[in-house]
Chain A
């Protein structure tokens, strides 16, 4: 049986993520096993890896660093290897070279860019950007297949005050609009990240997770 490792580093809505993955997995012919784990060895053996994350960038990075050997295993499997990887919310932001939330914090640096505060042009717009918004695919991707986008598309659930500005426009896969363009999805090769929460995004989220579980980068 193939396995999907959801990384437990003390910074995520792990139960919600696991529930959504388990729901989708159960609907597949060859259901993968969903494992929530803080053990780098389990992650090393996993066929797919998911990194959740809620809270502040610096706290999440410190939490990940505190799990001995985890970053090394992630780099071995995802950067030097080809294991499909999904980062969600701060788990996606950590892919950047640096986070600029309150303090400057070094990220994993897998995708060139930085995480900056969103600055809506309309001062009446609330921060955080919290709630349901549609997305606009800027570059077609296997994980976004069969997900209707645009103003009449499905909605994704966002809750964030910062977003990922990629240096290479090719790494920007989808955006949303909140008083200006806000990054919704980033990726390259076997790496994919969403600012929104697929595990909280009903139909859109479950479809994206299904796409991830079937993804051969």
Chain B
């Protein structure tokens, strides 16, 4: 018996519909999130993540309905991120049926928000989204900082905050898990930023989810074996049917990674 590596399809949602942003900008409508969630549940996805990507600028009440309808049909963990700014936002999402919330901008703006949220709801449901991009001056070096800095607002706003330091600080404050997304790789299909993922995964005690850039099944394997991630998140390779969840799981298992094959075997 051993804990299995999780595959997490991510549904980017705007206005109650699934979209996939290429580098978080060009949007292509890809369907009804609840139907997609049900299909992923049946296919044996280990968790599901909804990212409400327009949340920072628009009303987001549609997400509560999406979560509530999903939770009626899917008996697996559901994480919701995007626009989570207050304890009340978290409470509403959990009441709708979410199990965890992913917090990005609010964690950067007010790190103590993570401490308050973890105290109120428990570390297990507080995921901090570490949206990181390689610094343009990274090659210069010599300033004791890692190569990556934190971005907010769906990858549009640089903060100058060191990504690895930020990750460690968030875990100290009470984050139970980190969703590490390479903003350089997101939408490129060129694989995870393995160096970034590994640097953070080796630094913190909590599980790290690798995200951003999956284009082929070997990328998922690399995220675990080289990136040291506990879970891998992908969107378009699953949404557009390039690979199915069982195919991905079988490939990872064939490459020596312990996977949960319950649904695939059924």
Interface of A is mostly: mixed
Tell me if B123 and A20 are in contact (CB < 8 A): no
Chain A 158-171, CB within 8 Å of chain B: the 1/0 string?
11110000000000
A136 within 8 A of B: yes
**Residue A16 contacts which of B3, B41, B71, B260 (CB distance < 8 angstroms)?**
B71
A201 within 8 A of B: yes
Known: A54-B122, A157-B76. A202 touches B41 (CB 8 A): yes
Known: A126-B205, A157-B76, A201-B75. A177 touches B97 (CB 8 A): no
The smallest beta-carbon distance between A18 and chain B, in angstroms, is 9
The smallest beta-carbon distance between B179 and chain A, in angstroms, is 13
Known: A126-B207, A160-B124. A177 touches B2 (CB 8 A): yes
B230 within 8 A of A: yes
Query: For A154, what are the chain B residues with a Cβ–Cβ distance below 8 Å?
Result: 262
Tell me if A130 and B177 are in contact (CB < 8 A): yes
Count the B residues whose beta carbon is within 8 Å of the partner chain — how many?
A: 37
The smallest beta-carbon distance between B123 and chain A, in angstroms, is 7
**Residue A54 contacts which of B5, B6, B68, B125 (CB distance < 8 angstroms)?**
B125
Tell me if A155 and B97 are in contact (CB < 8 A): no
Query: For A161, what are the chain B residues with a Cβ–Cβ distance below 8 Å?
Result: 123-124
B4 within 8 A of A: yes
Tell me if A55 and B121 are in contact (CB < 8 A): yes
Known: A16-B71, A54-B124, A151-B1. A127 touches B205 (CB 8 A): yes
A128 within 8 A of B: yes
Query: For B95, what are the chain A residues with a Cβ–Cβ distance below 8 Å?
Result: 14-15
The smallest beta-carbon distance between B176 and chain A, in angstroms, is 6
Known: A160-B124, A161-B123, A200-B77. A126 touches B230 (CB 8 A): yes
A98 within 8 A of B: no
The count of A-to-B residue pairs whose CB atoms sit within 8 angstroms is 111
With both beta carbons as reference points, the residue of chain A lying nearest to B42 in the complex is identified as: A202
Tell me if A55 and B77 are in contact (CB < 8 A): no
B253 within 8 A of A: no
B206 within 8 A of A: yes
Tell me if B177 and A202 are in contact (CB < 8 A): no
**Residue B76 contacts which of A59, A129, A130, A202 (CB distance < 8 angstroms)?**
A202
B140 within 8 A of A: no
B163 within 8 A of A: no
Tell me if B3 and A131 are in contact (CB < 8 A): yes
Most buried by B among A125, A129, A136, A206: A125
Query: For A203, what are the chain B residues with a Cβ–Cβ distance below 8 Å?
Result: 262-263, 266
With both beta carbons as reference points, the residue of chain B lying nearest to A129 in the complex is identified as: B3
Query: For B4, what are the chain A residues with a Cβ–Cβ distance below 8 Å?
Result: 131-133, 155
- Give A135 to B2 CA distance when docked, in angstroms: 10
User: Could you pull out 26 A-B pairs where Cβ atoms are within 8 angstroms?
Assistant: A14-B95, A15-B71, A16-B99, A19-B72, A54-B125, A130-B3, A130-B176, A131-B4, A131-B5, A131-B207, A131-B230, A131-B231, A132-B260, A136-B1, A150-B1, A155-B4, A155-B260, A155-B262, A157-B76, A161-B123, A199-B75, A202-B76, A202-B263, A203-B266, A204-B262, A205-B75
Known: A131-B4, A177-B1, A203-B266. 4 other contacts (CB 8 A): A130-B207, A132-B46, A200-B77, A203-B262
Spell out B's residues near A (CB within 8 Å). Answer: 1-6, 41, 46, 68, 71-72, 75-77, 94-97, 99, 119-125, 176-177, 205-207, 230-231, 260, 262-263, 266
Spell out A's residues near B (CB within 8 Å). Answer: 13-16, 19-20, 23, 54-56, 59, 125-136, 150-151, 154-155, 157-161, 176-178, 197, 199-206
